[in-house]
Structure 1
Amino acid sequence: MDPPIPVPDVPGDDAGARGLPRRVDLTWRQRLIVDSSAAADLALRTGIASMIGASMLPTIVGAALGSHSRAERDHLRFYGELAGEKDPRLSFPAPTVTPRISSRPANPVAEWIAKGQVHNIRFNSSFEAVNPALREQCRAYQRNNVVHAQHWRHDDGPHPTLCLIHGFMGSAYLFNGLFFSLPWFYRSGYDVLLLTLPFHGRRAERFSPFSGYGYFAHGFAGFAEAMAQAVHDFRSLVDYLEYTGVDRIALTGMSLGGYTAALLACVDDRLQAVIPNVPVVTPDRTAEEWFPANQVMRLRNLLARTDDELSGAATMYSSPLNYAPLVPKDRRLIITGLGDRLAPPEQAEMLWKHWDRCAFHWFPGNHVLHVSQPDYLRRMTRFMRPFMLG
C-alpha cells in the first residue's frame, strides 16, 4: 500500500477515551508535522475559499436586487422545519425507480491501474428536489441529472464492494484510485465503486468555471438540494449493486465525500460499514473560518436579511449530527488529520461524540497530505475484514 505521493512515516494512532490527543501528548516529530502541514493547509484553504466565494457572486447580485431575498428566507424556513423533524425518511426519500444502467469499458489506463475489469457506468438520476419550489430549477440541470460512476469488478462474480465518494473539486477517478490505494483493496478481494458527486466532473453544467461550482452557485437551497441528490443517487447505486448480487457494501469518502458518507450512514441501513475521512459535519461553522468566502456569505446574508438562527436551523438539514446513525457502532470508523484546516479535526470529534465514541483514528497531517497514510489504510483493512471478507 504505497501512496502515490511519498510522505514521512510518522504514524498516528486511535483516539483515546477523551478524544483526540492534546498537543503536549504528541512526539516532537508529530508536532513538527502537524504544525507545518497546518500552515500549508491555510494557504490551500484560502485558494479554495476564493473559488467558493466567486461561485456565490450570482446569489449576491440577486440579493442586492431584492429578487431572491424573500425566496431565500422561505427556503431556509423550509429546510429548517424539515431538519426539526429529525426524520431521514422525510428529509431524504428513497428512490422509487430502478436505474437503467449504461456501462462501457473504461480507458486502458484505468484497467492497467486496477489490474482488472473496469467499467464507466451512467444512468439518469430519478431525483426530484425535496423543496417543491425548486423542482423545475433542478430538472433544468441536464448534465448534472446524469449520474456517473466507475465500477471495478472481478471476473468471478460480485464481490463485497468498497464505495468511495470524492471531495470537493476532486472527482477524477484516477486521482482517487491512486490516493486511496484502491488497487490494493481490489487485489484484496473487494470490488470498488467510485461515485461522481453532483455538479462535478462530467456532471458539471456547461460553462461551469470549475468542477463542483454548482454546489455553491445557487445559494443555500442549492447546496441543500445538491446534498439531497448525492444521497439519492448513491442509494440508486446501492439498488443497482444489490440487483447484481452484491450483499456487502462499505462506504468511505473524503472531505465533502466524508460529509456525504456520514449522512448516508444515517439514511440507508444497507451499509455494512462507513468510514468518513476528514469529514465536515457543520459546514456553516467551518465556512466562518474560510476567508474570503466567509465575508461573501456575510454580505449575502445581510442583503437577504437572514438571521443566524434561521441559517443555523436550515444547515442542520444535511448534517449527520441531526440524525441517528443506522450503521451499528462497531462498524463506524472516523479518520481525521490533526493538521487539517479545511475540515478541522474538531469537526470529526463532534461526529465521534454523536456516534457514541466509535472507532476514531488520527494521523499527523493535513487535508491533502495524509502523513503515514498506509497506517490508516491498514487500520481500515483490519476494521472492515470481519464483516466484509470474513
Structure 2
Amino acid sequence: MLSALADHACARFDRVMRHGLRRVLMQRNELDRLARAELERRLEAVAQYTDPAVLAEPDRLLAPPPAPPPLVPLAVRRLPDGRATHFTFASPYRPRDPHYAREYATYDRVDTVHLHAWQHDRPAPASILLAHGWCVGNRRLHEIEFSISTLYRDLGLDVYFYVQPFHSLRKPTAARFSGELFPSTDIVRTNEAFIQTVQDVRAAITAVLRHSPAPLGMMGSSLGGYTSALVASIDPRLSFVVPIMAPASFAHLLWDHGEGDPFRRQAEALGMTRERFHSAWALHSPLSYAPKVPWERRLVVTARGDALVTEAHADVLWHHWQRPRRFRFTGGHFLQLGRRDYIRELARFLADLRIIPGPG
C-alpha cells in the first residue's frame, strides 16, 4: 500500500518535471526556423545514417578506434584499497555531415572525454561502466545515484563513470545548461552526437579492458540506459548490461509525450510522422539491432511510478530483448526512492552469473 502511494506521488512529480523539461526543450526548438523544404533537406542528410547497409553493419559509423586512447590523469586521490582518478582523453569522433562539421567546430569542450575511475590496487573480479541521464552528468550527483561506494567497496568492482557529450564538463560555453544541445529536436545533431557517444564509449571500453581483462559490463540511467542498451547491441565485448529506465526509442518517447504541444504540431505541419521520426533516429535505437550481450546477461530495470519512460516504453525494449531478467523498484524517474533496491538486485544478478561471489 505504501509502495503504491509512493509510486503515485512520484508519477505526479514526474509529470510536473516532464512538462518543465519540454518547455525548456521548446525554447530551442529548431523546427521553429525550418521550412518544409529545409526539413526535407535534413531528412535527406539523415539518409546517410539510416542506409540499410549501415543498419546491417553499424560499425561503418560506430566502430571504436583501432588503438586504446591515451588516458591523461587530471586528478588522483588515494582510497583505502585503491585510487580514484579523473581521466581525460581526446574523442576519436569526427563529424560525418559537412554542414554539422562546421557547427561542431564552434563548440568547445565537447571533444574532450571525461572518464572517472575507481580502481582497486588488486585485480577486481569485474568492472562496470556507468552512463548518466539527460541534463545531468556531475560526478558527485551520480556517485549517490549509482551508489558507487557500494559498487566499489561492497561488490568489489572497478567502477568507471563516463560523461556524455554536451553534458556537464563537456557542456559548450554556448549552451545554457547541461544537455541543452543533445538530445534535441535537431535530427542531424542528435544522430552525430550519438555517433560520438558510441565511439567514445567503445574507446573507453578498450582502455578499461587494457587495464584489466576481467568481465566488463555497462549500466546507465535514462539517456544513459538507452546508451547502455545501444552499446550492448553492437559491441560483443560487454559481459553484462543493465539499462535503467531506458526507452527503446528516443524518437517515440519525444513524440508520444508531445501530443498537443507546439513541437508536435510544427513537426506534423512539416510532414513529420511518428514513424518517420523513429526512422530518422534508427541508427541509435536498440530496436535496430539484435543485442550482442547474451540473454542471461541482460537485466532491465524500471521504476513503477515512472511517468517519463513509462512501462509501455520500457516494455518495448524488454520484449525486443526476448524478455530477459527484469526488476521494478519503487519510485519515479526523478525520485528514485528504491534505487538501493536495484543495486541489491544488481549484486544478485552478478552473483548468479558468478561474476562476483554470492552471499556467504
TM-score for both structures, normalised by structure 1 = 0.83
Contact 2:31 2:185 (C-alpha < 8 Å) held by counterparts = no
Contact 2:124 2:157 (C-alpha < 8 Å) held by counterparts = no
**By how many angstroms is 1:288 displaced?**
2.6
Distance in 1 (CA, whole Å) between partners of 2:274 and 2:61 is 22
Q: What secondary structure is seen at the aligned counterpart in 2 of 1:214?
A: coil
Q: What secondary structure is seen at the aligned counterpart in 2 of 1:360?
A: strand
Residues 290-349 of structure 1: CA distance to partner in whole angstroms, max 9, x if unpaired? Answer: 35995224415534x445443232222211011000000110000001210111122221
Q: What secondary structure is seen at the aligned counterpart in 2 of 1:210?
A: coil
**By how many angstroms is 1:372 displaced?**
2.7
Q: Which residue of 2 aligns with 1:99?
A: 69
Listed as ranges, the gaps of 5+ residues in structure 1 are: 1-27
Alignment partner of 2:7 out of 24, 34, 40: 34
Distance in 2 (CA, whole Å) between partners of 1:384 and 1:119 is 25
Q: Which amino acid aligns with 1:225?
A: E
Distance in 1 (CA, whole Å) between partners of 2:255 and 2:264 is 9
**By how many angstroms is 1:284 displaced?**
2.1
The answer to whether residue 296 in structure 2 is matched with residue 330 in structure 1 is yes
**By how many angstroms is 1:193 displaced?**
0.3
Superposed, 1:1-390 pairs within 5 Å as 28-56=1-29, 59-64=30-35, 68-82=38-52, 85-106=55-76, 116-131=82-97, 134-157=100-123, 160-187=126-153, 188-216=155-183, 219-291=186-258, 294-300=261-267, 302-303=269-270, 305-385=271-351, 386-390=353-357
Q: Which amino acid aligns with 1:134?
A: Y
Q: What secondary structure is seen at the aligned counterpart in 2 of 1:90?
A: helix
Distance in 2 (CA, whole Å) between partners of 1:323 and 1:91 is 14
Contact 1:52 1:293 (C-alpha < 8 Å) held by counterparts = no
Distance in 1 (CA, whole Å) between partners of 2:81 and 2:146 is 16
Residues 348-382 of structure 1: CA distance to partner in whole angstroms, max 9, x if unpaired? Answer: 21111111110011123110222333222111001
Distance in 2 (CA, whole Å) between partners of 1:126 and 1:85 is 21
Contact 1:46 1:290 (C-alpha < 8 Å) held by counterparts = no
Distance in 2 (CA, whole Å) between partners of 1:159 and 1:122 is 25
Q: Which residue of 2 aligns with 1:23?
A: none
**By how many angstroms is 1:388 displaced?**
2.5
Q: What secondary structure is seen at the aligned counterpart in 2 of 1:170?
A: coil
Distance in 1 (CA, whole Å) between partners of 2:163 and 2:290 is 26
Contact 1:50 1:293 (C-alpha < 8 Å) held by counterparts = no
Q: Which amino acid aligns with 1:46?
A: H
Distance in 2 (CA, whole Å) between partners of 1:116 and 1:42 is 42
**By how many angstroms is 1:153 displaced?**
1.1
**By how many angstroms is 1:128 displaced?**
2.2
Contact 1:46 1:292 (C-alpha < 8 Å) held by counterparts = no
Contact 1:329 1:358 (C-alpha < 8 Å) held by counterparts = yes
Distance in 2 (CA, whole Å) between partners of 1:252 and 1:61 is 36
Q: What secondary structure is seen at the aligned counterpart in 2 of 1:265?
A: helix
Number of aligned residue pairs: give it. 355
Distance in 2 (CA, whole Å) between partners of 1:245 and 1:115 is 16
Give the stretch that moved more between structures: 84-93 or 123-132: 84-93
Q: Which amino acid aligns with 1:368?
A: F
Q: Which residue of 2 aligns with 1:19?
A: none
Distance in 2 (CA, whole Å) between partners of 1:284 and 1:52 is 14
Q: What secondary structure is seen at the aligned counterpart in 2 of 1:215?
A: coil
Q: What is the RMSD computed on CA atoms of the aligned residues?
A: 2.5
Distance in 1 (CA, whole Å) between partners of 2:99 and 2:68 is 25
Q: What secondary structure is seen at the aligned counterpart in 1 of 2:305?
A: coil
Contact 1:88 1:323 (C-alpha < 8 Å) held by counterparts = no
Q: What secondary structure is seen at the aligned counterpart in 1 of 2:238?
A: coil
Listed as ranges, the gaps of 5+ residues in structure 2 are: none
**By how many angstroms is 1:34 displaced?**
2.2
TM-score for both structures, normalised by structure 2 = 0.90
Q: Which amino acid aligns with 2:50?
A: G
Q: Which amino acid aligns with 1:284?
A: A
Contact 1:122 1:148 (C-alpha < 8 Å) held by counterparts = yes
Contact 1:249 1:271 (C-alpha < 8 Å) held by counterparts = yes
Distance in 2 (CA, whole Å) between partners of 1:238 and 1:38 is 35
Q: Which residue of 2 aligns with 1:20?
A: none
Distance in 2 (CA, whole Å) between partners of 1:228 and 1:170 is 20
**By how many angstroms is 1:184 displaced?**
1.0
Distance in 2 (CA, whole Å) between partners of 1:131 and 1:212 is 21
Distance in 1 (CA, whole Å) between partners of 2:248 and 2:193 is 15
Contact 1:49 1:292 (C-alpha < 8 Å) held by counterparts = no
Q: Which residue of 2 aligns with 1:10?
A: none
